[in-house]
Amino acid sequence: MLLDPAFFCGLKHWPNESILPGNRIIIYNTNMTNSELHPFEHLTPELIMDAIEEQGHLCSGSVFAMNSYENRVYQIGIEDEAQPIIAKFYRPNRWSKEQIQEEHDFSFELAEHDIPVVTPLRDTDGNSLFEHEEFLFTLFPRKGGHAPELDHKENLQIMGRMLARLHLIGEKKLFKHRPTLDVVTFGKDSIDFVSNEFIPFEHKTNYDRVCKELMELMRPKLENCKNIRVHGDLHIGNILMRDEIPYLVDFDDSRLAPAIQDIWMLLSGEEEEQKIQLEKVKLAYQEFRDFPYNEIPMIESLRTLRILHHCAWLARRFDDPAFESAFPWFDQSSYWLQHINDLKNQVTQLKIES
């Protein structure tokens, strides 16, 4: 299924035609030296299978690239096994071992409380994070399913109850190593990188001006919020429906954030539609945990931070050949005109909330 990439960064509509994630053939540029190659270009099928076989799995030779940009994810055929396994190779130098282990431990903790999540596989010593040459990686069982229609039947209510239970566990303790989603990490840091390192000169002044106004509007809205462990990136691509049960996948962006961060991403459509959807989630959520009504005014700020962060994410990753080929419009003037216009619309929304 193809998903609208606008949803992943918080927009209602994507500004330009784009190449959606798909099954890619990895092409290695033989004219480049090893020192010039992007780290992921060292991730050959041979290296992948060697890493898997080090963990005691005999590969059949089938290596299938799956939809992923931030990391590299493969479906690996295993000899004498009916089901393949999924191997996730983490982007080098993004997360530390301690940060990744916290991600895994959170998902294990949730599973122990009967919350449907797809957890990593562990070896006989209980390890879930492995290392091969320059790559950290983990293995998952292959789970079939499909993205949910959240406004169909009782799906929003089911998600509301699940998130309440997840947040009850998430607030029991804090991450020690994983970062916080706030106006600095998703806002200021994103703006500074784009402004100083990437945006075309002719758009810099307008970008800086609108971002300065956004930061002034967002800071007071996100002050003194209660941060707990959350999924952090709960778009429909990270929810897998199987036997009428929504399984949560990919805790790669799990952070400390207000509980409403997981909730607002379930909402879609026009304002009135979102109000109706939120009401459904509220009623179900309250069956297990007090709904964070005080965090509802944070939604537009969190949406704005996601838009800013998504742009900076593309800019930071543009040296990855997969990004340059998949998002060729990113360094075009038309994109930046639309992006700045979207940010101006967020200024209007934040002022209306105020």
For 38-141, CATH number?
Answer: 3.30.200.70
Confidence class for position 147, pLDDT limits 50, 70, 90: confident
Phi and psi, residue 351, nearest 5°: -70, -35
Name the residue with tokens 């091969």. Answer: 132
CATH 3.30.200.70 segments of the chain: 38-141
320 annotated active-site: no
User: Does residue 53 have a pLDDT over 50?
Assistant: yes
Residue tagged active-site, from 233, 252, 253, 342: 233
Residue 74 in this model has a pLDDT that exceeds 60: yes
The alpha carbon of residue 27 and the mean position of all alpha carbons in its chain are separated, in whole angstroms, by 25
Q: Give per-residue pLDDT as tens, 175-187.
A: 999 999 999 999 9
Beta-carbon-side half-sphere exposure of residue 289 (alpha carbons within 13 Å)? 20
Q: Which of 116, 352, 61, 75 is nearest to 247 (CA)?
A: 116
Q: Are 200 and 331 in contact (CB under 8 A)?
A: yes
Please state the separation of Cα 59 from the chain's center in Å. Answer: 29
Active site residue 262: no
- Angle, in degrees to the nearest 10, between helices 271-285 and 155-170: 60
Predicted pLDDT of residue 11: 52
Give the per-residue pLDDT at 156.
Answer: 95
CA distance 310 to 277: 25
d(CA 65, CA 75): 7
Q: How many Cβ atoms are within 10 Å of 83's Cβ, its own excluded? A: 12
Model pLDDT for residues 188-223, shown as the tens digit of each residue: 999 999 999 999 999 999 999 999 999 999 999 999
Beta strands of 235-333 (E only): which ranges? 239-242, 245-248, 255-257
- Does the domain at 155-353 match CATH 1.10.510.10? Answer given as yes
| pLDDT of 354 over the 80 cut | no
Task: Spot the catalytic one: 189, 208, 250, 319.
Answer: 250
* Residue 254 confidence (pLDDT) above 50: yes
- Whether 304 has a pLDDT exceeding 50, the answer reads yes
Report the distance separating Cα 39 and Cα 320, nearest Å. Answer: 9
pLDDT tops 90 at residue 252 = yes
Which alpha helices (DSSP H) does the chain contain, by range? 5-8, 45-54, 97-112, 155-170, 189-193, 201-221, 260-264, 271-285, 299-316, 321-326, 333-353
Every domain of the chain with CATH number 1.10.510.10 lies at 155-353
Q: What is the mean pLDDT of residues 64-77?
A: 93
Most confident of 1-15, 18-32, 143-157, 263-277: 263-277
Higher pLDDT, 31 or 93: 93
The alpha carbon of 135 is separated from its chain's Cα centroid by a whole number of angstroms, namely 20
238 residue type, one letter: N
What confidence category does residue 153 fall into, taking pLDDT thresholds of 50, 70 and 90?
Answer: confident
